Chains A and B, each alone.
Chain A
Amino acid sequence: MQPFSSRRDFLFNGGLGFGALALGDLLNRQADASETAKPLAARPSHVVGTAKNVIFLFMQGGPSHLETFDEKPMLRKYDGQLLPESLRDFDLAQINTADAQVMAPQFAFNKHGQSGVEISDMFPYLSKHADKLAIIRSMHHELFIHGSAMIMVHSGTSLLGHPSIGAWVSYGLGCESDNLPAYIAMTDSIFRNGASMYTSGFLPAIYQGTDMHAEGVPIQNLKRNANLSQSDQRFLLDQLREMNELHLKTRPGDSRLNARIANYELAYRMQSAAPELIDLSKETQATHDLYGIGNGAADRFGKMCLMARRMVERGVRYVQLISGGWDAHGDCKGNHQSQASKTDQPIAGLIADLEQRGLLESTLLVWVGEFGRTPIRQGSNGRDHHPYGFSSWMAGGGIVGGKTIGATDDFGFAAIEDKVHVNDLHATMLGLLGIDHEELTYHFEGRDRRLTDVGGENNLAARLVRA
């Protein structure tokens, strides 16, 4: 393929696999074109670059921080009592704070590992990896409805039309696979916000996440039409290439026409690469067992986690796995117990498997929901949406685990110490991937846009990789 004639061509004609093109290339290119080049030198120290890939574990619906990673004895003490006056000034989705009662945590907490990190009994499998986790207890934003909050956690803003972080990462780092997309999203239920969960927003559509299905045909239109035999298809593709090359010959210098020809071959290769990716039959029984595949509730998410490992092995840059169903308005304990039985063993299995294959060092895992849940009771034993303080964890990608970051107040209401906004989480993820979140920009609507907008000051990357 001949070189792209402009940066715009370069951005728009990459197909799905755009080889080893990376941010460095982008910035150099900018410098060549005498555009506003950003110096690559003198990077701030929070750009550590220990991670190469991301597996983003999104717990859709909002898992309770109070039942998982943020033990609050005060809630047990005041169980059933009215909320202290000082905490009543919060807007919540469905509860009036004036007559709301405190609800005690529904699970016991214990210290785990050498580090003694506290994790609830909900996650017996994950707890074994306590020393690999960096738990953030001071996540926060201010959006208490699912739609806007999910946009926030994926795109760093409450408004539609902005790229999700997976698209930003693909834009910044490119893809290492020639046969698979850079960014793949997979869900065990539904994309509750539709395509805005993996959108490329205002970035070129090349960076859009590919919604891959764990069963059947993994990618749209991947299956050869029933009317076309394999040899017919290959024959037609060869004819097509020759005819398109003749067309190109009289129209030299148009990189789009070149890219188009290359994309037909990429499409052809994807037809076998993507089904191979989701075919788990060649994995050993021990591997299946590790992920809980075949183990009732854990089976589905277990398969997705194993596929995530296979994606990372094949060079997929950003994998987004969604576990639906965490919206525990009614029975918080029952709901979370059931959600844990679906995800705990698979996620723990993923960590163990990545580690034993030497991939954990370069693969960043991030676990987060769109918000946490209220310290106060909804109905008989549920909890409402709560964005003012909640928990998340990260592991792998060079992180030295066994840490907790930040804290909420005594009632688990608001993040008060070492607060980590979603923009900070994103800045941290980019930092671990070697990207300065202030440098990764795209010009749209009159401004060089950033994933982190004007935020991201509390970048944890440097702290996370230190012992």
Chain B
Amino acid sequence: MQFRVTLILLAACSCQSVMANEPELWSLRAPKRHTPPSTATLAHSKRVKNEIDQFVLHGLQEAKLEPAPQASRLTLVRRAYFDLIGLPPSPQQVDAFLNDKSSNAWQKLIDSLLNSKHYGERWGRHWLDVARYADSGGYETDIYFRNAWRYRDYVVKSFNDDKPYNIFVQEQIAGDELWPDNLDLDPRRVYIVPKEKLRHFEARVATGFYALGPRVHESALDAKRLSYETMTDWADTTASAFMGLTLGCARCHEHKFDPFTQEDYFALHAIFASAKELEVPMWNSMGEADWRQAYPRVLAVQEARKEYQLFAAKTAGRKLTPEEEKHKQQLLANIGQAVLKLPERTGGPTGTIPYDGLMHIPTVSVLGRSHPSQIKPIHLLNRGELHKPGQRVEAALPVSLAKATGTSAKLTDPFEARKQLALWLTRKDHPLTARVMVNRIWHWHFGRGIVETPNDFGNMGQSPSHPVLLDWLAIRFVEDGWSVKKLHRLIMASSVYRQSSQFGSPRHLAEDPDNRLLWRMNRRRLEAEALWDSVHSVSGTINLEMGGPPVVPPLAEDEIASLRQKWHWVVSADPKQHTRRGLYILVRRNFKFPMFEVFDTPVTAVSCPVRDVTTVAPQALWGLNSKSVFGQSMHFAGRVFKEAGKDQKKQVEQAWRLALGRPPTAAESARALRVLRQLEESSAALNEAPSSLSSIDASQAQAMSKLCLLLFNLSEFAFID
């Protein structure tokens, strides 16, 4: 069944003639500039909106597969909202697009979504999967990373700013080495922002990429191993994220299927051997002075606590007299008073900066350089075993890759190894960097990459379904200044992107069941965060505040039962924080937010290029039974009553429009009214109903809440056509 498609793909590959001396592996050869197949040769020439269509329609024509019709405007507006900002369009936003009859309505919609600050949250979260982002170290004690979120906010900002991808890469790998002076950068390509210092700092925050990997607390007992595991994380994640290469296997043996040697692998370790993790204060000298001046406030807390402890020790084991009880309460109140007097923020380079916790110095975890005398030599380890060091290995680029770019693998300056790696990776002619990112973006738009294994462009990865298109996009991406937003516009402008997902003949299903040739759009289930955001958005409770430390929503008793240390889950006091976007919810390596666990957020141990999309019963249990979904159903019902008035038919219509972006069909409306009538037979008052339902008849309130619960559980709610 798959045979036919394979043949075509092979044919496509063979178009790229292999020159002598070129690497055998396709992904190591520089992308070639191909002319798109002529529109005149295409049966569906009217479909062609841009070159992407020329390439894809040509492929379909070769395979004798018809492309799907274009999707309805309603489908498109929902697709665009979820794809670009991860939030459902409001009924007004849907209407605005449906009523916009101008010829560039679609383009305007895309532009407005790309200009939304929520775009960075949606696409930043995609990158955080690649960056194996977490707020703690995992393993037994799951040590807390108190400022990993600054890296998260950096990523969101970078996407919103449309930071050129080459700079984005450079900042993360070597922001500290590249940006103190800018001397080694071509001035025309420098990413210019007015505040030089802030930009320098931002590039530094970017190296936090390396400070948030898995970390064993107890490894202080086993320093050699800690250092080795950290190097492994750094080298593997660098290769996966930026080069789309899985080098981890080379830790233990020669990479069987790829031209990467064990020496290449440990040479990559050696590139990072001079790096060390630092915690850098977020403020200037003024902030420092403020902090010192206010420090006695901290001492006051400490002494108040001490006073209480002395009293408690003195009276331990006996009943307190009424006088003593009063004294005890006073002492406890003194602690509280002292805590309340602690200042909460200080001055910093970006204006006032909140302290962490109780006047804890706000910092960011970044990379810096070790003193040359402290750099440990890196040895090749046979089978990756720590106690069997082999020959010493110097920092170097992977030999075969360096050769492919016509560079020497040897690094000229061992003390700025990361800088050289970053600059080499972002060369315009690097065969991997642009291809890998273009493919990621394609994957996040379509649910499948042109290369289905975005972290593996090696021999063990999948070969590209559209190799010529991939090359064309990679070249275009670089020529467009590595602009991710331009690439979004290009992809979304194509008619390929705008195809219906509902099409399919037996022939299509037989010839290309996985839709590798893109004869239709892929239907997609919302990811955990998008589902969370949708539920709260539809119910009207979502808090769209951006950035800052992770938020911690409360958990039901049965949810928190599996957490080893309950105090690891410090619930945010302000209930408004409980309905922030999913992106901002605490990511513990040892204990995922339970709803996220069930809906396939990545295991944060290594870079995650493609999320699983499973369909399992605990998802249904969450939708049916969880306290949070029922709670949101009640808010949703309250919103429906408020927005639709007393007419039940209008209520049903509004509920449908909010949840699904469309009015109900006549049959659906009739069903909904039947359901409400049946449910209204119960008059039980709702527990924990929100104030928006307080003026509503109890029987109606509970019936509508249950109908809203039903809507949250529809396949149509969770799947985007």
A23 at the interface (CB under 8 A from B): no
A204 at the interface (CB under 8 A from B): yes
List, in ascending order, chain A residues with CB within 8 A of B564's CB.
Answer: 190-192, 194
Contact with A along B588-619 (1 / 0, CB 8 A): 11111010011010010110000011111111
Q: Is the CB of A220 within 8 A of B714?
A: no
A85 at the interface (CB under 8 A from B): no
Interface size class of A (residues with CB under 8 A): 35 or more
B454 to chain A, nearest CB (A): 11
Question: Taking chain A's interface residues, is the majority helix, strand, or loop, or is none over half, making it mixed?
Answer: loop
List, in ascending order, chain A residues with CB within 8 A of B621's CB.
Answer: 219-222, 267, 270
Q: Is the CB of B675 within 8 A of A221?
A: no
Q: Is the CB of B258 within 8 A of A446?
A: yes
Q: Is the CB of A446 within 8 A of B249?
A: yes
A243 at the interface (CB under 8 A from B): yes
Q: How many angstroms from the CA of A270 to the CA of B622 in the assembled complex?
A: 13
Q: How many angstroms from the CA of A252 to the CA of B504 in the assembled complex?
A: 8
B62 at the interface (CB under 8 A from A): no
Q: Is the CB of B614 within 8 A of A12?
A: yes
B41 at the interface (CB under 8 A from A): no
Contact partner of B719 (CB less than 8 A), chosen from A34, A252, A257, is: A257
B89 to chain A, nearest CB (A): 19
List, in ascending order, chain A residues with CB within 8 A of B258's CB.
Answer: 446
A146 at the interface (CB under 8 A from B): yes
- The answer to whether A446 and B460 touch (CB under 8 A), given A161-B603, A217-B558, is yes
Q: Is the CB of A227 within 8 A of B686?
A: yes
List, in ascending order, chain B residues with CB within 8 A of A367's CB.
Answer: none
Count chain B CB atoms within 10 A of each CB in A15, A259, A266, A445 and give the residue with the most.
A445
Q: Is the CB of A445 within 8 A of B246?
A: yes
Count chain A CB atoms within 10 A of each CB in B218, B253, B514 and give the residue with the most.
B218
Q: Is the CB of B589 within 8 A of A225?
A: no
Q: Which of A131-139, A195-203, A343-351 makes up part of the contact surface?
A: A195-203
- The answer to whether A16 and B229 touch (CB under 8 A), given A34-B2, A227-B702, is no
Contact partner of B141 (CB less than 8 A), chosen from A15, A147, A206, is: A147
Contact with A along B521-564 (1 / 0, CB 8 A): 00101000000000000000000000000000000111101111
Q: Which of A103-111, A234-242, A357-365, A409-417 makes up part of the contact surface?
A: A234-242
- The answer to whether A220 and B682 touch (CB under 8 A), given A12-B615, A192-B564, A454-B253, is no
Q: Is the CB of A239 within 8 A of B671?
A: yes
A97 at the interface (CB under 8 A from B): no
Q: Is the CB of A267 within 8 A of B624?
A: yes
Q: How many angstroms from the CA of A103 to the CA of B592 in the assembled complex?
A: 42
A373 to chain B, nearest CB (A): 16
Contact with A along B76-87 (1 / 0, CB 8 A): 000000000000
Contact with B along A254-269 (1 / 0, CB 8 A): 1011011101101100
A247 at the interface (CB under 8 A from B): yes
Contact with A along B192-215 (1 / 0, CB 8 A): 000000000000000000000010
Contact with B along A203-225 (1 / 0, CB 8 A): 01110101101001101111111
List, in ascending order, chain A residues with CB within 8 A of B588's CB.
Answer: 194
B455 at the interface (CB under 8 A from A): yes
Interface size (B, Cβ < 8 Å)? 100
Q: Is the CB of B615 within 8 A of A263?
A: yes
Q: Is the CB of B214 within 8 A of A194?
A: no
B295 at the interface (CB under 8 A from A): no
List, in ascending order, chain A residues with CB within 8 A of B625's CB.
Answer: 221-225, 228, 271
Contact partner of A266 (CB less than 8 A), chosen from B221, B456, B617, B675, is: B617
Contact partner of A217 (CB less than 8 A), chosen from B240, B557, B615, B682, is: B557
The 5 A-B pairs at the shortest CB distance, nearest first, are namely A161-B605, A194-B590, A147-B139, A147-B140, A160-B605
Given contacts A227-B706, A229-B682, A256-B615, 20 further A-B contacts (CB under 8 A): A142-B387, A145-B222, A160-B589, A205-B612, A206-B614, A208-B597, A213-B558, A213-B561, A221-B625, A222-B558, A232-B679, A247-B714, A247-B716, A260-B619, A263-B617, A264-B713, A266-B617, A445-B240, A446-B258, A447-B460
Chain A positions near chain B (C-beta within 8 angstroms): 5-6, 12-16, 33-34, 91, 93-94, 142, 144-148, 150-151, 158-162, 190-196, 199, 201-202, 204-206, 208, 210-211, 213, 216-217, 219-229, 232-233, 235-237, 239-240, 243-244, 247-248, 250-254, 256-257, 259-261, 263-264, 266-267, 270-271, 443, 445-447, 453-454
CB pairs A–B below 8 angstroms (5 shown): A144-B221, A148-B219, A201-B605, A264-B713, A453-B252
